Structures are given as structure tokens and as C-alpha cells.
């Protein structure tokens, strides 16, 4: 099966800092890839390359087998790549249904088809079990963090995203909220999205990911199949001191 996203010897430099070095990775439909590594390892930069927020200094990015030309966040979105961050940008003052359809409004002739959008949004909320919310007209600011993340993931699935990138989506969430987000991610996987998931918590990454990519100092250090490694082994591997860069261990 052809990968949805491929990075082919990608490098990213910020002045003298080399954030990514010689990255060769591919991501497939229906797969969750966990990306782990220390602070500053280059994990977020990896997602930024894919979403068009960072430009490689060299190397290629291919989406659906096609090398991308001009690549920016708009292009990435148009190609079905969605990203969810820790502090998700739902517009707090807009109602749930307006947020859900932001930039993708359904129209009837020149007018917004509010009835239809409210109906679809209401169904989505029921599907993700967000029953606490009484109406799709409430301000989005009333949602909890986990509810927002789940809604954003559901939105990506609804609008036919091919890839879903998550950068520490549960960092600010309580346990129950985190579980809700995991269910939404699993739903997105079963719908065939390619998912890249960054988290510092190995107890989150291990059960969720099919493959785990360990990044160290901007390089892919290891790629593991989840079934080949226990949580304890993963923890050990990630926290192992780095003897090739002793100066970093002192930090
Ligand atoms: N816009 C930027 N300008 C300059 N340096 C940057 C920029 N963005 C990232 N860096 C540097 O690139 C390196 C990789 O950063 P990145 O944010 O990708 O790390 P990370 O693995 O996501 O870390 P964390 O776990 O702390 O989020 C770091 O050394 C960081 O300081
Ligand atoms: Mg980061």
C-alpha cells in the first residue's frame, strides 16, 4: 500500500540549529504512529514540515506519492492534512456548529444552511458521546479541553481528512478527558486516516500506537513495532542516556 505521507531525507535548520537530520519516514492509512523523544528532539518540527509551517532545507515531502511543490498550511489542509495541538484553536465565542463548519459552511444558494449544519453537528456530538452539551448553539468556550480535542478530531474525519497529526493533544487533560480523546483517535484510525501522535507519556503512546518512532537530536534513532516492545522496554529505551552526545545528558 502506498504511504499517504513520505519524508525523503528531510533536513530542517534554524540558523545554526539543525532541528531535523536526514529523516526518512512514511505514514500509512489506518495506522497510528507514535513519535517520542526528549524536549527539543525535533518532534514538533517534523509535524511542521508535513503541515507546511516549516520548510525543509533539503529533502523531499511526498503526499499520496506526489512530491509537493509550494507547500504551506493552506496547501496541506487542501490535501487533507489536519493538525490538533495541545491548546486547540476553537474560536471560543462561536457556537459549536459554527466552529464545526468554520471555513466549510454548507450553503443553499447564497445563504448558509444553518438547519442542516446544526443537524449534522448535533449528530456528531451524539456520535462522540458528548451528551453533556445541551445544544449545538452553546459557545465553544464552554467545552472542556477533551471535548474540544474530540470535536476537532471528529471534524477532521467528517471533512474527509487523510491524515491527522496530534502534537501533545492530552498534555493539559485529566484522565477521563484523555480517554475520550483516545477513543476519537481510534475512531479516526478505523476510518482509515494516517495518524501521527506526539506524546511524552509512554503509557499513552504504547497502547495507542501501531509503530513508535524515537527521535533523538533531530534524527530517527529507532522505529519499533508496538507488538515487539513492552511498555517497560519502551520506557527504558527512551530514557536511556545518550552516550554519543554526553554533553546533552548534562542538560
Ligand atoms: N522557529 C524556530 N526557530 C529556531 N529554532 C527552533 C524553532 N523551532 C524549533 N527550534 C529548535 O529546533 C529544535 C527542535 O524543536 P522541536 O520544537 O521540534 O522539538 P520537540 O521535540 O517538539 O520538543 P518538545 O518535546 O519540547 O516539544 C529545538 O532545538 C528548538 O529550539
Ligand atoms: Mg514539541
Tens digits of per-residue pLDDT, 87-110? 665 677 889 999 889 888 999 999
From 11, 45, 251, mutation site for ligand 1 pocket: most ligand atoms within 8 A of C-beta: 45
- Give the distance (Å) from ligand 2 centre to CA of residue 34: 13
| DSSP string for residues in 129-196 | T-TT---TTSBGGGS-HHHHHHHHHHHHHHTT-SEEEEESTTTT--HHHHHHHHHHHHHHHHTT-EEE
- Give the distance (Å) from ligand 2 centre to CA of residue 118: 35
pLDDT score for 37: 94
- Give the distance (Å) from ligand 2 centre to CA of residue 40: 7
Q: CA 96 to CA 198: how far, in whole Å?
A: 26
pLDDT at 199 over 70: yes
Tens digits of per-residue pLDDT, 143-195? 888 888 888 888 888 999 999 999 999 888 888 889 989 999 999 999 999 99
Does residue 222 contact residue 44 with C-beta atoms inside 8 Å?
no
pLDDT score for 128: 80
pLDDT score for 87: 67
What mean pLDDT comes out for the span 63-67? Answer: 96
Tens digits of per-residue pLDDT, 202-233? 999 999 999 999 999 999 999 999 999 999 99
Tens digits of per-residue pLDDT, 32-51? 999 999 999 999 999 999 99
Sign of the dihedral defined by the CA atoms of residues 66, 68, 72, 75, in that order: negative
Domain limits, CATH 3.40.50.300, in the chain: 1-87+154-207+231-241
What mean pLDDT comes out for the span 112-120? Answer: 95
How many C-alpha atoms does 27 have within 13 Å on its Cβ side?
30
From 42, 171, 198, mutation site for ligand 1 pocket: most ligand atoms within 8 A of C-beta: 42
Kindly report the backbone phi and psi dihedral angles of residue 154, in degrees, each rounded to the nearest multiple of 5, phi listed first. -60, -40
Nearest residue to 34 (alpha-carbon basis) of 206, 163, 191 = 206
DSSP state of 90: -
Question: In CATH, what number does 1-87+154-207+231-241 get?
Answer: 3.40.50.300
Amino acid at each position: 500500500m502506498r504511504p499517504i505521507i513520505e519524508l525523503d531525507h528531510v533536513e530542517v535548520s534554524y540558523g545554526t540549529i539543525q532541528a531535523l537530520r536526514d529523516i526518512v519516514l512514511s505514514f500509512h492509512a489506518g495506522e497510528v504512529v507514535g513519535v517520542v523523544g526528549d524536549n527539543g528532539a525535533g518532534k514538533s518540527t517534523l509535524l511542521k514540515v508535513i503541515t507546511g509551517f516549516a520548510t525543509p532545507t533539503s529533502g523531499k515531502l511526498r503526499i499520496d506519492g506526489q512530491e509537493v511543490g509550494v507547500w504551506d498550511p493552506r496547501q496541506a489542509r487542501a490535501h487533507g492534512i489536519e493538525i490538533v495541538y495541545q491548546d486547540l484553536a476553537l474560536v471560543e465565542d462561536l457556537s459549536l456548529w459554527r466552529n464545526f463548519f468554520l471555513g466549510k459552511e454548507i450553503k443553499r444558494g447564497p445563504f448558509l444552511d444553518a438547519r442542516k449544519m446544526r443537524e449534522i453537528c448535533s449528530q456528531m456530538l451524539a456520535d462522540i458521546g458528548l451528551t453533556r452539551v445541551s445544544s449545538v448553539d452553546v459557545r465553544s468556550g464552554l467545552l472542556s479541553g477533551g471535548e474540544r480535542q474530540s470535536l476537532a478530531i471528529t471534524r477532521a474525519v467528517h471533512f474527509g481528512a487523510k491524515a491527522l497529526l496530534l502534537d501533545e493533544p492530552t498534555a493539559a487533560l485529566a484522565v477521563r478527558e484523555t480517554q475520550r480523546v483516545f477513543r476519537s483517535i481510534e475512531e479516526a484510525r478505523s476510518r482509515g486516516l494516517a495518524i501521527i501522535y506526539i506524546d511524552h507519556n509512554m503509557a499513552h503512546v504504547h497502547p495507542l500506537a501501531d509503530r513508535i518512532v524515537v527521535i533523538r537530536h533531530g534524527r530517527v534513532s529507532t522505529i519499533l513495532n508496538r507488538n515487539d516492545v513492552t511498555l517497560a522496554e519502551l520506557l527504558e529505551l527512551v530514557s536511556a542516556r545518550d552516550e554519543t552526545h554526553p554533553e546533552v545528558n548534562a542538560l
